[in-house]
Amino acid sequence: HSVDEHIYHEMMIHPALSVFLLQSGRAPEKIFLGGSGDGAGPREVLRWRSVLNATMVDIDYEVTRFASEWMPELANGSFQDPRLHLVTGDAMQYLRELPRDHTFDVLILDFPDVADSRALEKLYSVDFYRLCRDHMHEKSVLV
């Protein structure tokens, strides 16, 4: 946690949701967050009152548990927001198991750098981005 983490999360989240609003003519309602287990991503997403459902899929519950216990200001209550659906699991597997007609207005991928672990390579693959595309409609935004 650093004093400027909000800059990273605000710049990742708000421009994407704003682009969706501008290009679709309506505010975003359904959001997918891959990663973001510390809670800062959902914190920013849930500032948008238009968001009806934010699905966050993070593979490491320990990150979420640790952040909730030791750095609750990072999530700022987002884990208790009923609009957040928190899934502990593999984002690729989660998207693969969703029905193809289940789309999101905005998909936000907040994964660690692939240099941190070779196991993350699949989240940066063409196959993963095709899978994301399968869950986008013509106005969806991916960041």
**Which active-site residues does the annotation give?**
110
User: At which residue do the structure tokens 């597997």 appear?
Assistant: 93
| 8 A C-beta contact, residue 106 and residue 75 | no
Q: What angle do CA 126, 128, 131 make, to 5 degrees?
A: 110
H helices present in 25-143, as ranges: 40-45, 61-70, 72-75, 91-97, 126-134
Which run of H or of E encompasses 30? strand 30-35
